[in-house]
Amino acid sequence: MQEATPETPADRLTAIRTRMGAAAKLARRSAEDIHLIAVSKTRSVEDIAPIILAGQRLFGENRVQEAASKWPALKERHPGVELHLIGQLQSNKAEEAVALFDVIHSVDRLSLVTALGKAMQRLGRAVPCFIQVNIGAEAQKGGCSFMELPDLLKAAQDAGIPVAGLMCIPPADVEAAPFFALLAELSARHNLAQLSMGMSDDFETAIMLGATYIRVGTALFSERPSMI
User: pLDDT digit string (tens) for 106-128?
Assistant: 999 999 999 999 999 999 999 99
User: pLDDT digit string (tens) for 81-101?
Assistant: 999 999 999 999 999 999 999
Mean of all residue pLDDT scores within the chain: 93
Residues 6+ apart with CB under 8 A from 87: 41, 61, 62, 63, 106
pLDDT greater than 50 at residue 227: no
Closest to 217 (Cα-Cα) out of 62, 2, 3:
62
The neighbour count for residue 150, using CB atoms within 10 Å, is 13
Give the rounded percent of residues in the chain with a pLDDT score beyond 90.
88
User: pLDDT digit string (tens) for 1-38?
Assistant: 445 556 888 999 999 999 999 999 999 999 999 999 99
Q: Please give the backbone phi and psi of residue 111, each rounded to the nearest 5 degrees, phi first.
A: -60, -35
- The answer to pTM > 0.85 is yes
**Measured CA distances, 178 to 170, 171, 218, 225 (Å):** 9, 11, 23, 31
Domains of the chain with bracketed CATH: 9-218 (3.20.20.10)
